[in-house]
Copies of this chain bind each other. A is one copy, B any other.
Amino acid sequence: MNITIVGLGLIGGSMAIALKNAGFASHVIGVDNNPEHCKIAMKKGLVHEVSDLQESCAKADLIIVAIPVDKSKEVVARILNLIDEHTVVTDMGSTKKMICKHLEKHAKRHLYVAAHPIAGTEHSGPLATQRDLFNNKKTFICEKNKSSNKALTTVLKMFHCLNMSVEFMEAEEHDKHVAYISHLSHITSFALGLTVLDIEKDEKSICDMAGSGFFSTVRLAMSSPEMWTPILIENKENISYALNKYVNHLQKFKDYIDQTDKTKMFKMLKKANDIRRILDDIIS
C-alpha cells in the first residue's frame, strides 16, 4: 500500500517506520513544512521520499495526518478536496469533536476516519520516533458511521497491523474522557515544572533531590507546546471543568495541611489510593 504521512514528528515518524517494518506500507511519502524534519526523516529511513501535499496525495492509497490539531482540520479538508474514491485519509489528533464538526458537511467525509492512538512520549520531532511506539496500545475511532466501510476497513487493518486494539466512541464523549485523563495529567505536569522552576532557585538541588517519583510526575512538562497549545484550546470546556475540580482537591490538601488535620489528610490519601484498583487492571 502506498502511504502518505503528513507531519513527520514523533507520531507521524513512528507510524512511518512501524508501517514500513510491518510490511503494511510498500512505499511511504513524507510531507512536512519543516525542511529539517524532512531531512532527518530521509536520513533515518522513516520514509522513502518526501514531497508536497498535492503530489503525495495523488500517489497515496492511505494518507495519515499527524500534525497539531488546529492545523489538521484544514489540512484534512484540503486533502479530501484533492483525493478521489480510491484514497482514504485519517488523522491522529488528540481532540476529535472540532475536526469532525469541521468536516461533517464535506462531500467526501466518508473517505475520512477520525482516529486517536493513545501513544506518545514527552519528546517530539522525527529524532524522537520509536518503531514500537504503538505496539500493544489502544486507539480510538470516532464517528465511525460517517466513514465508508472501505475507509474504516483500511484504517482498522492499519491499526491491527501495528498490534493496536480499537475502541469506537462518539467524538464528544471521546473529548470529555481524554480531557479528564490525558489532557489534565499533562497540565498537572506542565504546572509542576513551572512551579519547581519558579520556587527552587537552586537548580543543583533539583538534580540532587529528584528521585524517580519527581521525574515521573514532571516528565510530561517537556511535551511539545506546538502540539499541546491547540489541544488545550480545542478541548477547553472539558479541560476547564477538570482543572477546576483538580484545584478544588488541591485546596483541600492545603487546608488540611494548614490545619494540621492528620485524620482528614489520611482519609484523603487513602481515597486517592483507590486509583490502584483501576491501574492494576491496566497493568494486568
Residues of A within 8 A of B (CB): 118-122, 137-138, 140, 167, 177-178, 180-182, 184-200, 202-203, 205-223, 225-226, 228-230, 232-233, 236, 239-247, 249-251, 253-254, 257-258, 260, 262, 265-266, 268-276, 278-279, 281-282
Contact = CB atoms under 8 A, between A and B. Distances in A.
Nearest to A260: B233
Copies in the complex: 2
A273 B222 contact: yes
Contacts of A185: 192, 213-214, 216-218
Nearest to A173: B205
Contact of A209 (B178, B192, B218, B241): B178
B254 A211 contact: no
Contacts of A200: 177, 180-181
Contact of A250 (B180, B247, B281): B247
B265 A232 contact: yes
A213 B191 contact: no
A211 B137 contact: yes
A167 B208 CA distance: 8
A166 B229 CA distance: 41
Contacts of A210: 118, 181-182, 278-279, 282
Contacts of A178: 209
A215 B282 contact: yes
A208 B257 contact: no
A233 B265 contact: yes
A249 B198 contact: yes
